[in-house]
C-alpha cells in the first residue's frame, strides 16, 4: 500500500504540472495576441496623413495648413495619387469627424490624428467710401489683395493710393479705374487716397477676408 500512495502523489503532481503548462501557454497566447499592433495599417494611415499635410502636398498652403477649397476638391482617385500606400483596404479621411473622402467603409482599423489649420476665404466684402467725407479705408489682417474702384467727382484729380504709406497706385493724369493691389497680409492695412481738401468722388474696396480654423485631420485605414 505504501508504494501505491507514492504513485498517487506522483499522478497528482503530474496533473498539477500539466495545469501549470496549460496556464502558461494560454498566457503566452494572450501576450502574443496583445502584441499585434497591425504595423502595416498603422504605417499606411500615418504615411497618408503625412503626405496630405506635407509642405509640398497639393492640398496645403504650407506645412500643416490646408486650403479649404483644395480639400473640398479631394476625391478617392486623387487621394490614391497623393498617397498610394492607402491602395489596399478601406480609407477614410475626415476633418473634425466630418468625412472628406471615403473609400469603402472602414469598420475598425488604425486611425491617425494630426492637428491642422484650414484656411478658407469668406464671401467678398465691399466697403464704399465717399471721398468728400472720408479718405481712408481699413482692411483687416490676413488679406493679401484687394480690388479698388475709384471714381473721381467733378473738379477732382485723384493721383495716388497708399497702403500703410506705401504707394500702390499712382497716375499723374488722375486715377479713374479699377485695379487689384497686393497688401501685406501679416498686418491690418489702411488704404488712403491722396485727395485735396475739397475732393469729391467714390472709392469701393472689395476684398475676401480669410478664415483660419484649427481642425483635427483623422486618417483611418482598415486593411
Partner 1 sequence: MTDRALVPVVGKVLEAMLVLLYVASLVTALHGGVVPDYRDAAAAEVSDRTLASTAARIEASVPPPSDDAAASRTVDLPAAIDDAVYRLRVENRTLVLDHPDPALSGRLRLALSPRVTAVEGSWRSDEPATVRVRGDDGRLRVILA
| CB 51 within 8 Å of CB 93 | no
Distances (CA, A) of 164 to 90, 95, 187: 52, 37, 10
Interface with partner 1 (CB under 8 A), residue from 12, 16, 23, 25:
25
Q: Which of residues 65-124 bind partner 1 (CB under 8 A)?
A: 83-85, 87
Size of the site for partner 1 (CB under 8 A): 32
Cell digits of residue 35 = 502584441
C-alpha atoms less than 13 angstroms from C-alpha of 201 in its C-beta half-sphere: 26
Nearer to partner 1, 25 or 212 (CB): 25
Strand partners for 148? 179, 205
DSSP 57: S
Among the listed ranges 35-43, 98-106, 136-144, 173-181, the one in contact with partner 1 (CB under 8 A) is: 35-43
User: CB neighbours of 42 closer than 8 A, spacing ≥ 6?
Assistant: 110, 112
Does 35 participate in binding partner 1 (rule CB under 8 A)? Answer: yes
Nearer to partner 1, 21 or 130 (CB): 21
Supply φ then ψ for residue 25, to 5 degrees: -65, -40
Torsion of CA 181, 184, 185, 190, to 10 degrees: -80
Nearer to partner 1, 10 or 73 (CB): 10
Nearer to partner 1, 24 or 174 (CB): 24
Does 220 participate in binding partner 1 (rule CB under 8 A)? Answer: no
Does 34 participate in binding partner 1 (rule CB under 8 A)? Answer: no
Does 154 participate in binding partner 1 (rule CB under 8 A)? Answer: no
Residues in contact with partner 1 by CB under 8 A are 3, 6-7, 10-11, 14, 17-18, 21, 25, 28, 32, 35-37, 39-40, 42-43, 46-48, 50-51, 54-56, 63, 83-85, 87
Amino acid at each position: 500500500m505504501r508504494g501505491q500512495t507514492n504513485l498517487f502523489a506522483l499522478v497528482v503532481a503530474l496533473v498539477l504540472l500539466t495545469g501549470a503548462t496549460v496556464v502558461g501557454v494560454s498566457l503566452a497566447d494572450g501576450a502574443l495576441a496583445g502584441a499585434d499592433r497591425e504595423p502595416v495599417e498603422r504605417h499606411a494611415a500615418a504615411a497618408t496623413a503625412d503626405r496630405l499635410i506635407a509642405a509640398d502636398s497639393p492640398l496645403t498652403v504650407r506645412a500643416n495648413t490646408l486650403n479649404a477649397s483644395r480639400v473640398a476638391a479631394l476625391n478617392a482617385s486623387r487621394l490614391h495619387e497623393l498617397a498610394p500606400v492607402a491602395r489596399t483596404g478601406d480609407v477614410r479621411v475626415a476633418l473634425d469627424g466630418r468625412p472628406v473622402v471615403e473609400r469603402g467603409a472602414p469598420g475598425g482599423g488604425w486611425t491617425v490624428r494630426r492637428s491642422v489649420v484650414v484656411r478658407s476665404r469668406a464671401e467678398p466684402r465691399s466697403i464704399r467710401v465717399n471721398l468728400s467725407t472720408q479718405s481712408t479705408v481699413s482692411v483687416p489682417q490676413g488679406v493679401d489683395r484687394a480690388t479698388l474702384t475709384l471714381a473721381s467727382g467733378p473738379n477732382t484729380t485723384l493721383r495716388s493710393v497708399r497702403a500703410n504709406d506705401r504707394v500702390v497706385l499712382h497716375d499723374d493724369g488722375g486715377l479713374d479705374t479699377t485695379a487689384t493691389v497686393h497688401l501685406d497680409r501679416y498686418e491690418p492695412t489702411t488704404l488712403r487716397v491722396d485727395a485735396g481738401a475739397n475732393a469729391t468722388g467714390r472709392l469701393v474696396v472689395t476684398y475676401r477676408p480669410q478664415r483660419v480654423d484649427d481642425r483635427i485631420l483623422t486618417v483611418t485605414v482598415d486593411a
